[in-house]
Amino acid sequence: MIKLFKVKEKQRELAENANGKTPVKKQSAGELRLHKDISELNLPKSCTISFPNGKDDLMNFEVTIRPDEGYYLGGTFLFSFQVSPIYPHEAPKVKCKTKVYHPNIDLEGNVCLNILREDWKPVLNINTIIYGLFHLFTEPNYEDPLNHDAAAVLRDNPKLFESNVRRAMSGGFKGCRVLFGHEFFRMWRPSGRCLGRCLYAV
């Protein structure tokens, strides 16, 4: 039955091509669901969505988050989303494209957010993920870290953590590990000079 269906589908495509019609690309279930999710987005004013590859590629898009409160107030953070054809049965792949000193985001842009991993369910949607990312900036979580050093600073010395975030956001840092007190963390600076004791270059 499936083979017969494929043959009929192929015959229809060939007939359309013979008639000079442009073949219409069949949308996957994931694309249909994603289209619905995007049409129903209800984002905070500080979050925007864009489609760098144009409207024909909804499966790859970017979200910009500009936190309006918390440690990361005033920062701008860009995330890329790659959505699988079997979405929503598989969570989108999300990467942070902005270097950030954060307990839940590592230097490669990997994001530690439970709904992108073990707590993902098909009833969740893109809106839920964006709110989850936004929440990481208003309330970073030191209990489930990717950047263990940043998490330890946040847990043990929130004032130092806030200072570190401000320094990291004020122009970025050249990759190196910097020692502040007993805590290590990675920072970036355009000049390549460390704001502390550089233990080794990355």
Give the pLDDT confidence of 108-123 residue by residue, as tens digits. 999 999 999 999 999 9
Q: Looking at 149-194, which runs of residues are DSSP E strands?
A: 176-180, 183-187
Residue 179, pLDDT > 50, answer no
Residue 112 within any structural domain of the chain: yes
Residues labelled catalytic: 112
Kindly report, residue by residue over 64-100, the tens digit of the pLDDT: 999 999 999 999 999 999 999 999 999 999 999 999 9
Average pLDDT in the 55-65 region?
94
Residue 102, pLDDT > 90, answer yes
The count of structural domains within the chain is: 1
Residue 195 within any structural domain of the chain: no
pLDDT at 23: 53
Q: Tell me what the pLDDT averaged over the chain comes to.
A: 81
Residue 16 within any structural domain of the chain: no
Q: Domain of residue 72: give its range.
A: 29-170
Quick one: how far is CA 10 from the chain centroid?
38
Residue 193 within any structural domain of the chain: no
Average pLDDT in the 33-47 region?
94
**Cβ atoms of residues 186 and 101 within 8 Å:** yes
Residue 71 within any structural domain of the chain: yes
Q: Is 4 exposed, middle or buried (0-12, 13-18, 19+ CB in 10 A)?
A: exposed
pLDDT at 16: 63
pTM of the model: 0.75
| DSSP 8-state secondary structure symbol assigned to residue 39 | H
What is the C-alpha R_g of the chain?
22
pLDDT at 19: 64
Residue 114 within any structural domain of the chain: yes
Residue 142 within any structural domain of the chain: yes
Residue 202 within any structural domain of the chain: no
CATH code for the domain of 152: 3.10.110.10
